[in-house]
Chains A and B, each alone.
Chain A
């Protein structure tokens, strides 16, 4: 399979229009202000405008959004897991195992014939999104590729590769996928900030898979004793601990 093509730009056309308009507005506004405040507003406007011109949004750069030339969001994550490629492939190929480590997945049902499956995932703000997918390539112990069928709200396509890792480290598993979020790149950036974006989810999913297969469970501190008494400190600790996307 060819390497994933990436666009040098990380902003969608709509996003560039929005940022450009805002930048221009700030520059015009700065003309009516003198002193350091005016300079700051002008600088902010110039930053937005140049970002729009180059298609490199500052926000997208910060949250790490990448796009394909076809204006889809591209995600690529890899993890080394201490089991053989065949073992890892077999576990993954049974799609109904996926919700065991992909926290945002509600369920995956493999349909008759084994090539098609129905996926239900949790979406931002407590909603759900469902789609049907089809296997497009299946090489035992090496690769599984899939593509969502027409009519899905979030068209997506991807593959997972299993390669033997050097030095007896097990398997290098790599997930490569592209998707078209409903709100374009801007939607993806917002989703990422809410911790719901696939790039963030997949990195954590792979870590959960590693822990599931290497030690059999996810380490946790949930429910341990502490000297926290009020809701504020409990929330603060929760912010650090076991941050999950579900």
Chain B
């Protein structure tokens, strides 16, 4: 089969690899019908997530049709159309039973590595380095999925692939980020980063009762889409964000701030330069926390900073004094995707959310290297790429 394979920093290539097989009785094999590139895949490509190995199959946003099930799979059968949430839930441990599925105790075979690095191990994640399990990912024609009964989610009749694909990650991630803000009627929420997660966070904040949402980015097409979601916007390339946010909120700052940027934040000034230099060593500082610092500074006193943006290791010069003296609350986490699936599917069916509106590019899997490039550099107005693993490379043309 064809799959997108990591071959070192900045080298995502499409290769022929062996087809996946059932390895354990709770596995299911999915024929992938749609997959997407996530912002956090860029952190893998850029080499900021340690424990990637040459030849790893990537991709954690994917869906398809079940083509084979292990002997202990009860809830799914061949032919079912499913989405595959990115964090792997065993369904049995205390965390999974509490709905904290991205913290599953049992799904990461390499838990001891994660414990050495992070103290405790989160759930295994598809196609997302060996710290989170080393599972082969879904930017491929087929994928092995594990703990199928606890993880796979049947797609309701009448919904297209594109309508449900983002339920695997970015839609629940934006929603959980907004839920973490504990929005009280009419609150103002600021969202740093108007990429896919930021856009869904904006939409979700409104659904959860926000009065105003302010999106911050520097790419016109992203700011435009944020406005279409109902947000006011700040272009951080043009305006001083902190001052502007204060001005827009009568000097208070937003009630909550979402950092939908993560570890490759584009910093400004001497601090941003220092982060960038240190991060290139991959040792002195693994994460660039510019957006996170800004979020802490901007949030109103007693407010909440919600962090869906991915961080991997160590970051410097976090304004802890501001965080403490302003009495802030921080909520973070990989998304507990499973707990949001019913709620968000309902919203999609009712038409409250149209996840397809963020898609700017539809390409074949063979075009994955190009897709990674335009997504990373925001060329061609790229906001979100969906890949079709079965497109004939000869007759497809990029569609906008």
Binding site for B on A (CB under 8 A): 80, 82, 168-170, 203-204, 207, 210-211, 214-229, 233, 236-237, 240-243
Contact = CB atoms under 8 A, between A and B. Distances in A.
30 contacts: A80-B94, A82-B92, A82-B94, A169-B94, A211-B106, A215-B90, A215-B92, A215-B147, A217-B26, A218-B109, A219-B108, A219-B109, A219-B124, A220-B23, A220-B109, A221-B134, A221-B135, A225-B3, A225-B136, A226-B136, A227-B15, A227-B54, A228-B54, A233-B55, A237-B130, A240-B53, A240-B134, A241-B109, A241-B110, A243-B110
**Residue from the set B3, B106, B111 with the largest chain A CB neighbour count within 10 Å:** B106
B110 A224 contact: no
Nearest to A203: B112
Contacts of B7: 227
Given A224-B136, A236-B54, A241-B130, A210 B106 contact: yes
Contacts of B110: 240-243
A233 B53 contact: yes
Interface of B: 1, 3, 5, 7, 15, 17-21, 23-26, 51, 53-57, 72, 88, 90-94, 105-113, 124, 130, 133-136, 144, 146-147
Given A169-B94, A219-B108, 5 more contacts: A214-B90, A218-B109, A220-B24, A221-B109, A228-B54
Contacts of A82: 92-94
A86 B214 CA distance: 55
B107 A221 contact: no
B134 A223 contact: no
A229 B106 contact: no
Nearest to B142: A225
B143 to A, nearest CB: 9
A221 B18 CA distance: 14
Nearest to A242: B109
Contact of A237 (B55, B106, B144): B55
Contact of A214 (B18, B20, B54, B93): B93
Nearest to A228: B55
Contacts of B19: 225
A170 B94 contact: yes
A170 B88 CA distance: 22
Given A169-B94, A210-B106, A223 B56 contact: no
A173 to B, nearest CB: 14
Please classify the interface of chain A as helix (H, G, I), strand (E, B), loop, or mixed, using the class held by over half of its residues.
Answer: loop
A116 to B, nearest CB: 34
Contacts of B108: 219
Q: Please report whether the interface of chain B is mostly helix, strand, loop or mixed according to DSSP.
A: loop
B154 to A, nearest CB: 22
A218 B105 CA distance: 12
B25 to A, nearest CB: 7
Most chain-B Cβ atoms within 10 A of its Cβ — which of A226, A227, A236, A242? A227
B5 to A, nearest CB: 4
Contacts of B56: 226-227, 237
Nearest to B105: A210
Nearest to B133: A221
Nearest to B22: A223
A236 B53 contact: yes
A225 B106 contact: no
Nearest to B150: A215
Contacts of B144: 224-225
B209 to A, nearest CB: 31
A194 to B, nearest CB: 15
Given A227-B3, A227-B17, A214 B92 contact: yes
A215 B5 contact: no
A196 B202 CA distance: 51
Contacts of A241: 109-110, 130, 134
A218 B21 CA distance: 17
A218 B106 CA distance: 8
Contacts of A169: 94
A240 B3 CA distance: 21
Contact of A223 (B3, B21, B26): B21
B180 to A, nearest CB: 22
A224 B111 CA distance: 18
Contacts of B54: 227-228, 233, 236
A170 B94 CA distance: 9
Contacts of B88: 219
A4 B54 CA distance: 45
B136 A229 contact: no
A207 B111 contact: yes
Contacts of B51: 240
B96 to A, nearest CB: 9
B111 A225 contact: no
A233 B17 CA distance: 15
A226 B109 contact: no
B41 to A, nearest CB: 16
A237 B111 contact: no
